[in-house]
Amino acid sequence: MQGIPSGFALTAVYNYLIGQGLSAKSVGSFAAIVGLPWTFQFVWGPLIDKYQYSIIGHRKQWVVLTQLVAMLASLSLLLVHDPVRQISLLGLVFFVHSVFASIQDASVDAIAISVVPVAERGRVNAFMRAGSLLGWAMGGAVLAYLLHHGGFGRAALAQSLALLVFTILTFFIKLERTDQLLPRIGQGRRPVPLGTHPDEENPALGWLFRELWHSMVEKHSLRAFLIIILSYLAASLFGNAYAFHLIHTLRWPDAEVSILQGTWGSLLSFAVLMGGGVLVDRLGAGRLQRWGLVGMAGFLLLFNCLSPFWINKVVSFSGLVMVNIADPLLSIAAMPLLMAYCRPKIEGSQFTTYMALVNLCTVTASYLNGWLLEITTAPIIGLCCGGLLLGLVVALYRSRLAPQLVTAG
């Protein structure tokens, strides 16, 4: 449910707008508007943790409600008849959808941290990212095909129907056998676990914010997190610039770029996630993070040095596929690492704050991309991003952060 609208907005529609001749600044602003609500997740985390108790399952009430509203917001896309001329309305509808999708995401992440054993977080995180990736592939490839062959309305309707199906499926999922599908009037609360005070079910907001602040400014977690968000910034910045370069400069059809990203790019990303999810549980998140940063830095530096050969479709297609695996490559190590730093009872607040700041970097990358392409080219942006990643690798070793990351992972 999170992946389908993201793939539709940030791959199919994003590439479509470029193909229709909109400037880099316009499409960059559109992408930033779509992603902006995901930077507010630090607001939702404390609310989700404050009111986490539910007779239908801890935090599940947040998931089901936000999925339902997100589906209704998706239906509002039917008000858009011409995406190019109505780009402001298009951005507004996707913005509203993203608000509720981000709350849903925060709720699911909090549930995952609270129920998944530490030794299995790597593979479970991989499953979660793979599910989102499959949704992204559907939104980017399938809905891009519908967009070009059936019109924007049919693509929007298909997305809304898919979200409705997933909402119904989620409603029937029980986190525990004792959970109910619906709360019953007059029925008492579910028994509180032995040794837990009833007031501890929904902690006080003041306590939540104090614990959140102490956990976020802790020295080792802060250093690790800064490296993670800068790596996401570099990967997102070049990914946006490269897609624009293919369509605007090399004249690739936008539908072809979207379908390739949603098929071959997603298949390889899926394989990276599944293999990486197992490896991170065996090798540790820190070690895998270092390998991933070294690999990405090397690719960006080499590939952008070969930019004169991008006119060769085999070379440019290979680059497109590699760009698509950047997020999975970062996520397989970064997500379990951040989960390890999350404290009990505030895991939802802390993790969603981490995600909000990561999302802020990707939104910033979308906005900066529109401005940078006005004054420079995609290969120059890629070389700078590769240099940044290489600097992060050096920082890992010189600050002696690497052993701490392995321990935390």
The 10 Å CB-count burial string (b at 16+, else e) for 27-56 is bbbbbbbbbbbbbbbbbbbbbbbbebbbbb
| Residue 68: how many other CB atoms lie within 10 Å | 18
CA distance 106 to 226: 20
Class of domain 3-179+204-408 as given by CATH: mainly alpha
| Residue-by-residue DSSP string for 69-132 | HHHHHHHGGGG-S-TTTTHHHHHHHHHHHHHHHHHHHHHHHHHHHHHS-GGGHHHHHHHHHHHH
Q: Mean of the pLDDT values across residues 113-127? A: 79
3-state secondary structure at position 27:
helix
Q: Is residue 385 predicted with pLDDT exceeding 50? A: yes
Dump pLDDT digits (tens) for 301-310. Answer: 999 999 999 9
- pLDDT confidence of residue 188: 47
Q: Mean of the pLDDT values across residues 18-40? A: 89
Distance between terminal CA atoms of the chain?
Answer: 28
CA distance 73 to 64: 14
Q: Which residue matches tokens 């820190």? A: 286
Dump pLDDT digits (tens) for 219-251. Answer: 877 888 888 889 999 999 999 899 899 998 998
Is the pLDDT higher at 117 or at 405? 117
Q: Calculate the alpha carbon distances from 361 to 88, 228, 324 in Å.
A: 23, 10, 17
Q: Which of 65-74, 121-130, 397-406 has the lowest mean pLDDT?
A: 397-406
Dump pLDDT digits (tens) for 249-289. Answer: 998 998 888 888 777 777 787 787 777 777 777 777 777 88
Q: What is the mean pLDDT of the chain?
A: 83
The residue extents of the domains of the chain are 3-179+204-408
**pLDDT band per the 50, 70, 90 thresholds, residue 202:** low
Check: pTM over 0.85? Answer yes or no: no
Q: Which residue matches tokens 């995401």? A: 105
Q: Mean of the pLDDT values across residues 355-373? A: 85
